[in-house]
Homo-oligomer: A and B are copies of this chain.
Amino acid sequence: MTTQPIGVFDSGLGGLTVVRALQRRLPHEQLVYLGDTARVPYGTKSATTVIRYASQIAQFLLALDVKYLVVACNTASAHALTYLEQTLPIPVLGVVEPGAHAAAGVCGSGQVGVIGTLGTVDSGAYQRAIQLMRPDLTIFSQPCPLLVPLAEEGWLEHPVTSEVVRHYLQELQAHAGNLDTLVLGCTHYPLLRQVIASEAERVFGHPVKLVDSAEATAEAAEGDLRERNLLSKARLEADRFFFTDVNRFAEVAGRFLGRPVTGAELADLSI
């Protein structure tokens, strides 16, 4: 069983930042990725819809014999993780709990910020996860709906992106002036790490620790697989990349994965 692949999915391409972290940390594992590019984004959609989509994708990956499932999408983790855990025959890991754990580990000031999609923020998932670990912390959340399109368009160093980031961080700062830790609660945001870091320092008047749930999730996956005796000793096959639509992935996906995505396959979910 240990040579079976790990399934990873996201609403689109952002989850490739998690794939990148998993590839670095678990080079002996085969990964099978599905990006639901035909229905992207999830961030503005309802919990019911996101659960339905996540469930269809999990069935697709199970049919490819995955041993473990990583939900590499914050919105899907926020809305659908409990449902997937209760209904799937394999272990499931989301990105919220690892991100929350990392934030709880580094916060010194007592105030943590979470930025993410509307769905992730409205769900309160990070808030609950962080406060379970550290009830002494106060968590402030800010939806940042324009950051996904800016990251997808590759406006990573454009002045407009700085201005939009500043706008959102100022909203956060109005309530949380003493914040020292900021969770990048969306898999697209690591691409904007530099501009978020510099605008955060400017807005808060001191450096802010950025928590990237992609890295934290890869670390959690490694620990979990080890504990469950599911770590592979040698990779038998190359990673596979499925998308529900064919458009644009070649152009944009490389930005998230850090290298070109080759041999992308079209997944038929009958949607």
Contact = CB atoms under 8 A, between A and B. Distances in A.
A168 to B, nearest CB: 11
Q: How large is the interface on A (under 10, 10 to 19, 20 to 34, 35 or more residues)?
A: 20 to 34
A46 B118 contact: no
A163 B153 contact: no
A247 B46 contact: yes
A38 to B, nearest CB: 5
A198 interface: no
Given A39-B38, A146-B153, A149-B145, A46 B245 contact: yes
A248 B160 contact: no
Contacts of A153: 145-146
A164 interface: yes
Dominant SS at the A interface? loop
Interface in A25-43: 37-40
Nearest to A56: B271
A183 interface: no
A49 interface: yes
A46 to B, nearest CB: 4
Given A146-B153, A160-B167, 7 more contacts: A39-B39, A45-B247, A119-B247, A145-B152, A146-B149, A146-B150, A160-B164
What are the 9 A-B residue pairs with the smallest beta carbon separation, nearest first? Answer: A46-B247, A149-B149, A49-B245, A39-B39, A38-B49, A271-B271, A46-B246, A45-B245, A46-B245
20 contacts: A37-B45, A38-B39, A38-B45, A38-B49, A40-B44, A44-B152, A44-B248, A45-B245, A46-B245, A49-B247, A118-B248, A119-B247, A145-B149, A145-B153, A146-B149, A146-B155, A159-B163, A160-B167, A163-B163, A271-B271
